Amino acid sequence: MAISRELLEKYAELIVRTGANVQPGQIVQLTISVEQHPFAALITEACYRAGAKKVNVDWTSDQQSRLNFLYASEETLSAVLPWEEAKMKQMTEDLPVRIFIASEDPDAMNGIDPQKLSAVSQSRARVMKPYRNAIDGKHQWVIAAYPSEKWAKKCFPDADDAVDRLWAAILKTIRVREDNDPVAEWKAHTDFIEKKAAWLNEQGFISLRYKSANGTDFTVELIPGARWEGAGVTNPLNGAYYIPNMPTEEIFTSPAAGKCEGTLVAVKPLSWNSQLIENFSITFKNGRAVSCRAEKGQELLEHMIRMDDGAAMLGEVALVPKESPVNQCGFLFYETLFDENACCHCALGMGFKEVLPGGDDLTMEEAVKQGLNDSIIHVDFMVGADDLDIDGIRPDGSTAAIFRNGTWA
């Protein structure tokens, strides 16, 4: 399929109006690959039509990033320059709408020393984290996707029409067609997710129990009063309702930090720092990851878990039925935005303040006191096997089936 300009414009409008929900007078920060500059122009124009005050673009390049890691020293790459920090500080004042367009080559960092990748990421994240915390829950943001040739060839290595195939899959998962109203379809979709989240909140579960024949046998405690959320979020400063992930199929919450036991077996590879971790499992004891196994990427997985004190604990548990349109596509996207929406997943690292009572007004220190995990990372990995069962446990010890055989019970 050769995607038409009309369909691209429809997609750009959906990202800007429904995903980010840009409001008149807001500044927008768009992060996108230099390869996708024509689409950047469409998004920029859609933002201005929505009333944006200014659109700033941060250009990315897989090739440039790879060359930096090949030739520049770890010390040089780890340094956060004064202008970079000033830019983040300005963001805490402007609170821009942030739009991220994913189109990375999943193999961009193949062969790069995983220790160097982790060390650079760790050093830079420490400096940037206070600024990230300062804007958390106070601005609108959305992640969507645009297929690059290398990404498409990774998904469909033997296909001459790889980009067309990836486009078709992306458009299916984000509900954009020539003959439909995607805004109306997204409204119906988010309504369904929010009804499911409301049911979970009514149950008052204090813990979850996971079981699968592949070796997953896991129990995790939930934070008292923490909400299940999904689909969209309301910016408390201006009341704008936005959808952070397009696509999205998940209902999620943040569990109690350091309160889980057992083993989670991943059902899909994880792409982290543009490298793959495959066929892996993580075992938790006293709430922390104490061991892990991976057929590929063992060293990278070990580095990830040691990024900081919170990296070995969970920050998210998310429910996604196997009927998800992402899962129905029948292939691995090699992009967490999509693969996490194929099935149930968990995340190592930082939790979400917004799920806590009054979370938008809490400092991170206050959120941690309530049981939230804090970390410089947040990395999702997929555990939703087709036979996965999940039970919710209430304060009186009674249980309720939440998932059976990978879908809603």
What count of other Cβ atoms lies within 10 Å of the Cβ of residue 2? 8
pLDDT tens-digit readout, 17-62: 999 999 999 999 999 999 999 999 999 999 999 999 999 999 999 9
Whole-number pLDDT of residue 239: 95
Q: Calculate the alpha carbon distances from 209 to 75, 264, 389 in Å.
A: 44, 11, 8
Query: Could you give the domains of the chain?
Result: 5-173 (3.40.1830.10), 204-227+248-408 (no CATH)
Mean residue pLDDT across the chain:
95
- For the chain, the residue count is 409
Whole-number pLDDT of residue 136: 86
* 261-275 mean pLDDT: 91
* One-letter amino acid for residue 365 of the chain: E
Phi-psi region of 247 (alpha: psi -120 to 50; beta: other; left: phi over 0): beta
* One-letter amino acid for residue 132 of the chain: R
What count of other Cβ atoms lies within 10 Å of the Cβ of residue 111? 9
Q: Smallest Cα–Cα separation from 190: which of 229, 137, 143? A: 229
Distance CA 159, CA 106 (A): 17
pLDDT tens-digit readout, 332-363: 999 989 998 999 999 999 999 989 999 878 89
Instruction: Note the pTM of the prediction, 2 decimals.
Output: 0.85
* One-letter amino acid for residue 254 of the chain: S
pLDDT exceeds cutoff 90 at 261: yes
Distance CA 394, CA 203 (A): 7
Distance CA 47, CA 49 (A): 5
The pair of three-digit structure tokens given for residue 100, joined into one six-digit string: 């991220």
The pair of three-digit structure tokens given for residue 197, joined into one six-digit string: 């989240």
Query: What is the arrangement of strands in the sheet containing 27-33, beginning at the earlier edge strand?
Result: 54-60, 27-33, 97-102, 141-145
pLDDT exceeds cutoff 60 at 1: no
Give the confidence band of 388 by pLDDT, cuts at 50, 70, 90: very high
Pairing, β 314-319 against β 251-253: antiparallel
Residue 171 main-chain phi, psi, to 5 deg: -65, -35
The pair of three-digit structure tokens given for residue 239, joined into one six-digit string: 């009341």
pLDDT tens-digit readout, 123-172: 999 999 999 989 988 999 999 999 999 999 999 999 999 999 999 999 99
Q: Calculate the alpha carbon distances from 373 to 1, 16, 65, 218, 308 in Å.
A: 44, 31, 30, 18, 11
Query: How much of the chain, in percent, has pLDDT values that exceed 90?
Result: 90
pLDDT exceeds cutoff 90 at 276: no
pLDDT exceeds cutoff 90 at 114: no
* One-letter amino acid for residue 309 of the chain: D
CB 274 within 8 A of CB 105: yes
The pair of three-digit structure tokens given for residue 39, joined into one six-digit string: 């689409």
